[in-house]
């Protein structure tokens, strides 16, 4: 199993613990991740202002992977959906592909339409599989109550992902949590968006969106929230104190990337999983697990 690893813009700056833990669990599970220096922006940040240039950037990344004969595995859900959407459209729409290639040829690139794009968690679910993960669990997470948060772009637009998940009642992340021995907690408005995309547009609205979810998860007595997108992570973890101050609330809710709890279950040292890099302290959670 081999993929080109697409780390994206956000994780290296605001979610190093995600990148770090993803690499560690991949190694443990026999998933080979190839680093490619030529990858750049996936195009998502430009879609609002310039769809054409955004598509060119996405396609350029696809070309880079195609040149190495590799499919792409991303750790950001936004990159996953942007690259997968571009890839799907370009493999079906020959006219569009020709138009895009006309421009890309000027920088010496052309896309044939052969690259598949998956988020890291989807790779775990589909390529590694629940059974293999379960078999490798060394430290069961029994006794932990975890609330899953699916990033919007892991699920939607669902046709981009060939209906791999049910966007209304998603299940893959919950199953991946359950096989580690932890209990998954249901909560109100589970599939609601973190608001991260509009944080720069209107922080009052964006932070209020995130606050609602923290409120709902907290109400169910979860030990932690588990997610898989660096933008969602920045909203619930990095901004949790800001939210607490602005809304006069107190949560202290640990927010972990799935790869971090998976790593713990696989017996990887917490320091190697960057658990000390999470903003909301994870020490109580770790002591609950006997670390």
Partner 1 sequence: MVATKLDPKFKDEVSKTRGGQNIKRCYQCGTCNVGCPVREIEEKYNPRKIIRMTILGMRERVLSSEFIWLCSACYTCSERCPQDVRIADVMNALKNLAVKEGHVHSSFAKRLEVIEANGRLFPVSQFDNAKRKELGLPQIPPKNEEVQELCKLVGSSKPSNVGGGG
Alpha helices in 118-202 (DSSP H): 120-123, 130-135, 152-155, 172-178
How far, in Å, CA of 233 to CA of 284, rounded? 19
Pick from 93, 98, 202, 276 the residue near partner 1 by CB under 8 A.
Answer: 202
Stretch that binds partner 1, among 134-142, 203-211, 220-228, 241-249 (CB under 8 A): 203-211
CA dihedral for 142, 131, 122, 278, sign (positive or negative): positive
Assign 167 to helix, strand or coil. coil
Which CA distances in Å does 206 have to 90, 106, 176, 195, 235?
33, 40, 28, 4, 9
Contacts of partner 1 in 130-169 (CB under 8 A): 152-153, 156-158, 167-168
Pick from 4, 29, 46, 280 the residue near partner 1 by CB under 8 A.
Answer: 46
Residue 119 touching partner 1 (CB under 8 A): no
Residue 249 beta carbon to partner 1: minimum distance, rounded to whole angstroms: 15
Pick from 70, 75, 128, 206 the residue near partner 1 by CB under 8 A.
Answer: 206
Which has the closest alpha carbon to 20: 264, 228, 274?
Answer: 274
**Dihedral (Cα; 191, 196, 201, 205), 10-degree rounding:** 50
How far, in Å, CA of 124 to CA of 177, rounded? 12
Residue 48 touching partner 1 (CB under 8 A): yes
Mark residues 58-97: x for contact with partner 1 by CB under 8 A, - for none: --x-------------------------------------
Token pair, residue 284, equals 């109580």
Residue 144 beta carbon to partner 1: minimum distance, rounded to whole angstroms: 26
Stretch that binds partner 1, among 190-198, 220-228, 241-249, 262-270 (CB under 8 A): 190-198
Residues of the shown chain interacting with partner 1 in the complex, contacts defined by CB under 8 A: 7, 9-10, 12-14, 16, 19-20, 23, 35, 37-38, 40-41, 45-53, 55-57, 60, 103-104, 106-109, 152-153, 156-158, 167-168, 189, 191-193, 195-198, 200-202, 205-206, 208-209, 212, 274
């Amino acid at each position: 199993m081999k993929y080109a690893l697409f780390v994206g813009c956000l994780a290296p700056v605001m979610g190093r613990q995600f990148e770090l833990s993803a690499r560690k669990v991949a190694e443990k599970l026999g998933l080979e991740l190839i680093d490619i220096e030529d990858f750049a922006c996936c195009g998502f940040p430009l879609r609002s202002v310039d769809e054409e240039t955004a598509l060119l950037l996405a396609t350029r990344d696809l070309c880079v992977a195609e040149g190495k004969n590799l499919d792409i595995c991303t750790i950001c859900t936004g990159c996953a959906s942007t690259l997968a959407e571009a890839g799907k459209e370009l493999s079906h729409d020959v006219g569009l592909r020709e138009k895009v290639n006309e421009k890309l040829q000027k920088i010496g690139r052309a896309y044939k339409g052969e690259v598949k794009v998956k988020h890291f968690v989807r790779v775990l679910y589909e390529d590694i599989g629940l059974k293999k993960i379960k078999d490798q669990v060394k430290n069961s997470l029994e006794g932990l109550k975890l609330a899953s948060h699916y990033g919007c772009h892991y699920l939607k637009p669902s046709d981009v992902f060939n209906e791999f998940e049910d966007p209304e009642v998603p299940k893959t992340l919950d199953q991946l949590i359950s096989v580690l021995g932890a209990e998954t907690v249901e909560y109100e408005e589970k599939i609601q968006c973190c608001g991260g995309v509009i944080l720069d547009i209107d922080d009052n609205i964006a932070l209020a969106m995130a606050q609602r979810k923290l409120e709902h998860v907290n109400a169910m007595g979860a030990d932690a929230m588990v997610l898989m997108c660096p933008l969602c992570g920045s909203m619930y973890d990095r901004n949790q104190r800001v939210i607490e101050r602005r809304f006069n609330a107190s949560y202290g809710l640990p927010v972990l990337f799935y790869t971090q709890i998976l790593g713990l279950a696989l017996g990887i040292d917490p320091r190697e999983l960057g658990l000390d890099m999470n903003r909301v302290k994870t020490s109580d959670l770790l002591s609950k697990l006997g670390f």
